[in-house]
Chains A and B, each alone.
Chain A
Amino acid sequence: MERQVGERDRVLVQVEADGEGQAVSPAERVILESVAHGRNCLDHFVDRLGLDCAAVRGVAETLVGRGYLRRRGTWFGAGLSYALSDQGEAVIETKPLERVLRGLSVSSSDLLLLRKLMGGPVPRVALLVGQEAAAASQVSHLQDMGYVRVTGIFRGTVALTKKGAHLLSAHGQLLDTYNEEETAG
């Protein structure tokens, strides 16, 4: 019997701080989690946190200072992109399944959004209600990676691409394998 969506995602979102002395603030956690899921650009953090660019960069630079992040890029990209350092990897303790899924470069909320699109195209505005900036960033991230396409001149419609459908399929298979191993274990 197929598992419920909520249960699948509960497994995926368990990202926790790693012990004493490494506690991170909510804003720092958002950035670390975002970087862990392959979103390394400042525009994503700004949209996700809903703060202005200076404040968000302040948080990111604080994380660089604490050794959790390192800057990426030089020419035409300096100060825009970040990657997790080894110490940062340690802070974001992930479940085994999430480590497997890291290669997919999507988060659990991305997968939720993709599943919403399995039934067919959804007006973009319907995805944005209540969490405009974060969802807008999420959609543009997925669009850049080729998992969704946005059509329409004005307020667009979001649909799953073939690549997005393959991603969901791969995710389902990984989850099944993981669950079988867990059961056997």
Chain B
Amino acid sequence: MSAQGEQAVVWGLVFVYCAAMVWFGLRVNRWIRSGSDFLVAGRDVSWVLQGLGLSSIVVAGTTLATQGAIGYLSGMSAHWWVTGWCVAVAVGALAFAGFYRRTGAYTLSEWLGAYYGERVRLAASLALAIGCYFSPLANILGGGVVLSGLTGMPTDWAVIMIGGIVATYLFCSGLWGALVTDLVQWILCVVAFLIIIPAYALLGSHPGMWQRLPSSFWALGSAPALPWFQWTLPSVLGMFWLMFSIATGGFYWPRACSSRTVNETRKAWLLAVVISLPFGFVGGLAGMYLRAAGVELAVPDQAIGVFLQQIPVLARALAVVGILAATMSTVEAGVHAGSMVLVRDLGRHFGGGVAKQISAARWITLVYTLAATAGAMGFNHLIPVLGSAMAVALLAGFLTSLIPPLLGTMMWRGSSKEGAFLGVIIATATTFHTMFLSDIWRRYHPVFTGFIVSAVVFVLVSLLVRVSGPWWRERRQVAP
């Protein structure tokens, strides 16, 4: 088949996939009859659907490219990219998920507001809305770069395509649309990641080829060797902390609170862990295959692209669609979490009936997605190589400041609203300063500075308040 014919096959499948996502969004729109249907799917999400959705979030568009690069450089340690998430979600399932559901709150900031008062709610919702903004930004950009590399289309156009499709189906049907498309996206991820890549890596190899790899390539415990990876996640423990901060710092909260029951929430998260783990152990195979075959790559990030060029066109097209699916499912999670904060915490004073609430939720979701798309294009031009890694750092940096006050609501009766408010505000300002106004980020990742500042201020101020008494009065909200 000619090169043009092969491109036509790839683009044909991409078009069918995009059209299907929009169709699902329009179709599921009829299930939306209230704000809670749009935002938390009427708290009617089965544990199976929830687990598959979480798994498709864990497996992002950049997963295959990142694992391919790590696999090329250091072999099986690429699994940490997914295993780290699985450990974070497993801890979340056992310690946090049930709690999230039992609060009844739609967002983490709503719960912090219920516990500590309105000021904390406002501070937390600002940190959460800003932090979550960088999640779709990172994934739209990462997925756009990968798609651009695989299809030859300009990165900006790939970014616009991903952002536009996600915006369309989320605008139509909110969380229901996200969950239904997640199901399809997860199946496509399985085809691309668990079937195509390992099948061609194993079928295309010959006996003895794998023995050319250094023995360290088969070690599971070592930290991945990748320059930007070393900055973001200096150790396996650091990587776990980053993922834990994102998973428990409010990003997954809206998903947990949409489950049918507390028990189903836990089951869903554990299901996500079990079905996501295999993705960790096959992603690096593409890079390892190239290394074993003696292919020299100047830029390791190209590993997955080079690998896919060597497989039949239909399999390649399916892999491209799988990567696109993995990207979109992770993008929508960030959009949903961030826009929910804007609707529920910052926009709740809008009032109005059900129709107005749904309308406000739709438009805020649309604007949030488009803003993230524009941000992804901006990052692509301003920070060409490290754009996605920087965006993930910002996401984790802002979200990690919410963990100390959250833990305070769970296990420390001495925690105070003053400590929570000042901890979140000062840590948010620190993250902003670290990333935008200084070069501290080159030495210290914001996920560590943000958490340490928030925790220290939270504990010290709370202890001071026990001596001094309350620093301000909080008007208690009562039902109308």
Contacts and interface: CB of A to CB of B under 8 A. Distances in A.
A150 B36 contact: no
A58 B476 CA distance: 6
Given A57-B114, A144-B262, A45 B104 contact: yes
Nearest to A52: B110
B362 interface: no
Contacts, number: 124
Contacts of B344: 52
Contacts of A78: 409-411, 413
Given A46-B105, A47-B43, A54 B37 contact: no
B121 interface: yes
Interface string B253-274: 0000000111100000000000
Interface-central residue, A55, A124, A152, by most chain B CB under 10 Å? A55
Interface in A114-139: 124-125, 128, 132-133, 136-137, 139
Contacts of A43: 101-104, 262
B360 to A, nearest CB: 15
B478 interface: yes
A80 B46 contact: no
Interface in A1-58: 25, 27, 41-47, 49, 51-58
B132 to A, nearest CB: 19
Nearest to B257: A43
B177 interface: no
A58 B106 CA distance: 16
Contacts of A152: 46
A172 interface: no
B479 A54 contact: no
A144 B267 CA distance: 13
A183 to B, nearest CB: 41
Contacts of B48: 153
Secondary structure dominating the interface of A: helix
A57 B115 contact: yes
A98 B48 CA distance: 38
A154 B479 contact: no
Contacts of B95: 76
Nearest to A26: B479
B91 to A, nearest CB: 13
A136 B103 contact: no
A177 interface: no
Contacts of B118: 54
A55 B104 contact: no
B348 interface: yes
Nearest to B33: A132
A61 interface: yes
Q: How large, as a class, is the contact surface on chain A?
A: 35 or more
Contacts of A55: 477-479
Contacts of A47: 43, 104
Contact of A62 (B33, B36, B478): B478
A61 B117 CA distance: 12
Given A54-B113, A152-B46, A79 B105 contact: no
B44 A52 contact: no
B49 interface: yes
B115 A79 contact: yes
A76 B408 CA distance: 10
Contact of B110 (A53, A59, A80): A53
A44 B104 contact: yes
A79 B417 CA distance: 14
A16 B103 CA distance: 28
A143 interface: yes
B128 to A, nearest CB: 15
Interface string A141-157: 00110000010111110
B24 to A, nearest CB: 12
A74 B31 CA distance: 39
Interface-central residue, B36, B101, B114, B180, by most chain A CB under 10 Å? B114
A144 B103 contact: no
A144 B71 CA distance: 45
A140 interface: yes
B48 to A, nearest CB: 5
B410 to A, nearest CB: 5
A150 B49 contact: no
B115 A155 contact: no
B300 to A, nearest CB: 39
A156 B260 contact: yes
B17 interface: no
A133 B257 CA distance: 13
A53 B46 contact: no
Contacts of B144: none
Contacts of B105: 46, 52-53
Interface in B169-183: 180, 183
Contact of A132 (B42, B103, B348): B42
A53 B113 contact: yes
B111 interface: yes
Given A49-B479, A56-B479, A132-B34, A153 B49 contact: yes
16 contacts: A41-B102, A43-B102, A43-B262, A52-B106, A53-B110, A58-B114, A59-B479, A74-B411, A79-B409, A80-B99, A133-B43, A136-B43, A140-B260, A140-B261, A153-B48, A153-B183
Q: What 9 pairs across the A-B complex have the smallest Cβ distances? A: A46-B104, A43-B104, A27-B479, A53-B105, A54-B114, A58-B477, A57-B114, A53-B114, A140-B261
